[in-house]
Chain A
Amino acid sequence: MSSESAEVRAAAAPQTATRTTATRPMLTLIKREFWEHAALWVAPLVVTAALIIGAIFGRAYGPGTMPVSLGDVPATPQGLRAISTTVLVMFSGGSQYVVMSIVLWFYATACLYNERRDRSILFWKSMPVSDAKTVISKFLMALAVVPLYVYVVTLLTTLVASGIIAIPRFSGPGGLSLWDGGAWVRAEAYSFVWLVLAVLWYAPLTAYLLLVSAWARRNVQLWALSPLIAIIVERIAFGTHYLSTWILYRLGPGWQSQSEQWLERLFAGPFYYTSGGSSSPVQLFAGMQPLKGFGNIDLWIGLAVAVAFLYAAVRVRRYRDDT
């Protein structure tokens, strides 16, 4: 090698060494999850399609004119609009979030398990992405990205469905419109707060499923359900139910503040309204303070537990070697 070419190479070396392009690792990791787990983005759209078809049928075959009363209470157009808008939001959200919970369960148990089963972990680990970043990306999917996506899809769904329902079946003053903008904004705001609370409340469950997913050699679903087996064992062996009380509390809607039975109200929405004896649509949410849920210390303890599970999942992914 001549000294001249060595010089040229030396001059070029720093440039090649620093020739890097900007990366967006977290965004890329999030996109990657949607590529692999298409159900995450498809399932909400399927539910939306079902809801909109339901709205079309409802409009086609539902009441064409204003009912005179709801139960014992004389119906006012305003009250009827408010209640139907609220029920629409709650029902759309309810369907979406039930489906989302099922999809997220399978997502969380699969996301760190599949990559080991098909050995693609060897490809992912050949990239400059830390185990912590990988695990956090999957946790963020379940904790924020998917719930937010489902929330937005649901919000748009209620707008479209409302539009369909609001089409008067008969032209003229007798046509029935069931849309109340104020009630819609209120219901959307409440369901957003509840969604945030619920997602945070279940964060330790999500993190637990990720840990199982990173750890299990096989039968990942069985391991995910192992606490339920522990409950049965506790019952039989010790005759106690501390574990089941505690687990059922964590699985239940503990995220609603204690003064509220909003779930009951939600499912009994119209009936609550009619039996409440008031014609005011605000009644449905009366006395509710969803923000109080953030004051529940158990919510925050759960988040600390979730962090511990996540840390364990990162460690397991780093050192487990079964490829």
Chain B
Amino acid sequence: MTTVIEARNLSKAYGATHALDGVSFSIESGRIVGMIGPNGAGKTTALKGILGLSDFAGELTVLGRNPRTERDRLMQDVCFIADVAVLPKWIRVRNALDYVEGVHPRFDRARAETFLSRTDIRQGSRVRELSKGMVTQLHLALILAIDARLLVLDEPTLGLDLLYRRQFYDTLLNDYFDKERTILVTTHQVEEIEHLLTDVIFLASGHIVLSTTVDAIPDRYLQLTVGPDGVSRARELHPFYEREVFGRTALFYEGRSARELEPLGEVRTPSIADLFVAKIQSLDARRTPAGLGSGAAPGPAQSAPGASS
């Protein structure tokens, strides 16, 4: 296992706002890492740095290269899909294949054509004639035919319907991912990818809130659900976040053992989506002591992405 991305003290400011504020993380090969955060958390800024698309302060090495100065060579081993809308509207499918074949030494045209033949996309069509879902399929066909070591996806399924979203990730896992490759993905729709991820990085306001492997979550975080009469006892164990759902209260603990909590109610490992909401909301609560709209103090449940349980 080798280190694919090594970021140390990454910072970037747009005017007075810090999109990234001294962020450090590293990503090993063979992982599927979800970078998750609310809008403006710095996800896209971090990805742009990794891809050599924008400048930043701090140290960053991707596959042993400096993305600031070696973007073109780096892109032989890195693929990325920014979002569905970036394929040029005027290009024909055939010419898109010609182009990638002409500039990318690791592109396997036959593979891309095989993938395309399973779709309704015709090679004579222009991108502007394709539906949004088809454009994504085309982009995926181009990317999957490239023998790259790192795949970066920035909100890859934004604006797609459920069918295409599901298909996108299934294809990615079945046809692409293996132990030599690494996938770094950002998305709002956490539930949709949480079963794929091996690692998560939670970002908020330019800081890392949590960086962990998914396997380590059960040992560290627990979710306890209690009825109204158990809440006060549950609070004595210092949950970092709580949320009321259908008259019951879900409390989130860090560093507690299941044995401590089990007498109080129903204990389980929080889903990544729930953990994300808990972490971000508790952070907001600490910043605004009045507790405006926060779930750390008892109050009505916030409707947030992933608030499904």
Interface residues of A (CB under 8 A from B): 13, 16, 19-25, 27-29, 31-32, 35-36, 115, 118-123, 125-131, 133, 318-319, 321, 323
B88 proximity list for chain A (CB < 8 A): 36, 115, 118, 120, 123
Number of A-B contacts (CB under 8 A): 104
Given A119-B85, A120-B86, A321-B48; A130-B99 close (CB under 8 Å): no
> Is residue B104 within 8 Å, beta carbon to beta carbon, of the partner chain?
yes
Choose among B98, B105, B107, B147 the residue that contacts A16 (Cβ–Cβ < 8 A): B147
Give the residue name and chain of the A residue nearest to B105 (CB).
A20
A226 to B87: give the CA distance in the assembly, Å: 32
- Residues A133 and B87 in contact, CB atoms below 8 Å apart: no
CB distance from B67 to the nearest CB of A (A): 11
A125 proximity list for chain B (CB < 8 A): 51-53, 71, 75
Interface code B67-105, partner A: CB below 8 Å = 1, 0 otherwise?
A: 000011111101111100111111110010011111111
- Residues A21 and B105 in contact, CB atoms below 8 Å apart: yes
- Residues B99 and A28 in contact, CB atoms below 8 Å apart: yes
> Is residue B55 within 8 Å, beta carbon to beta carbon, of the partner chain?
yes
A46 to B73: give the CA distance in the assembly, Å: 41
Q: How many residues of B contact A (CB 8 A)?
A: 40
A206 to B65: give the CA distance in the assembly, Å: 34
- Residues B80 and A126 in contact, CB atoms below 8 Å apart: yes
> Is residue B220 within 8 Å, beta carbon to beta carbon, of the partner chain?
no
A13 to B53: give the CA distance in the assembly, Å: 30
- Residues B95 and A35 in contact, CB atoms below 8 Å apart: yes
> Is residue B54 within 8 Å, beta carbon to beta carbon, of the partner chain?
yes
CB distance from A117 to the nearest CB of B (A): 11
Choose among A19, A27, A32, A321 the residue that contacts B147 (Cβ–Cβ < 8 A): A19
- Residues B86 and A127 in contact, CB atoms below 8 Å apart: no
- Residues B86 and A123 in contact, CB atoms below 8 Å apart: yes
A29 to B247: give the CA distance in the assembly, Å: 62
Give the residue name and chain of the B residue nearest to A125 (CB).
B53
Give the residue name and chain of the B residue nearest to A126 (CB).
B80
Interface code B132-152, partner A: CB below 8 Å = 1, 0 otherwise?
A: 000000010000000100000
A122 to B78: give the CA distance in the assembly, Å: 13
> Is residue B106 within 8 Å, beta carbon to beta carbon, of the partner chain?
yes
Given A120-B88, A128-B72, 20 other A-B contacts at CB below 8 A?
A13-B180, A21-B101, A23-B103, A23-B104, A24-B102, A31-B98, A32-B95, A35-B90, A35-B91, A115-B88, A122-B53, A123-B82, A125-B52, A126-B80, A127-B75, A127-B99, A128-B73, A129-B75, A318-B71, A321-B55
Give the residue name and chain of the A residue nearest to B69 (CB).
A318
A128 to B63: give the CA distance in the assembly, Å: 14
Give the residue name and chain of the A residue nearest to B126 (CB).
A35
Choose among A20, A128, A319 the residue that contacts B75 (Cβ–Cβ < 8 A): A128
Most buried by A among B54, B92, B104: B104
Interface code B236-277, partner A: CB below 8 Å = 1, 0 otherwise?
A: 000000000000000000000000000000000000000000
B85 proximity list for chain A (CB < 8 A): 119
B75 proximity list for chain A (CB < 8 A): 125-129
A122 to B156: give the CA distance in the assembly, Å: 13
A125 to B79: give the CA distance in the assembly, Å: 10
A125 to B82: give the CA distance in the assembly, Å: 10
7 contacts between A and B (CB under 8 A): A28-B103, A35-B92, A119-B86, A129-B103, A131-B71, A131-B72, A319-B55
Choose among B54, B73, B81, B91 the residue that contacts A321 (Cβ–Cβ < 8 A): B54
A121 to B87: give the CA distance in the assembly, Å: 9
Give the residue name and chain of the B residue nearest to A16 (CB).
B147
A31 proximity list for chain B (CB < 8 A): 95, 98-99, 102
Which B residues between 3 and 58 are near A, CB-CB below 8 angstroms? 48, 51-55
A318 to B68: give the CA distance in the assembly, Å: 9
A133 proximity list for chain B (CB < 8 A): 72
CB distance from B161 to the nearest CB of A (A): 22
B71 proximity list for chain A (CB < 8 A): 125, 130-131, 318
Given A23-B103, A28-B99, A127-B100; A122-B72 close (CB under 8 Å): no
Give the residue name and chain of the A residue nearest to B91 (CB).
A35
Given A23-B105, A122-B86; A130-B72 close (CB under 8 Å): yes
CB distance from A235 to the nearest CB of B (A): 37
A128 to B73: give the CA distance in the assembly, Å: 6
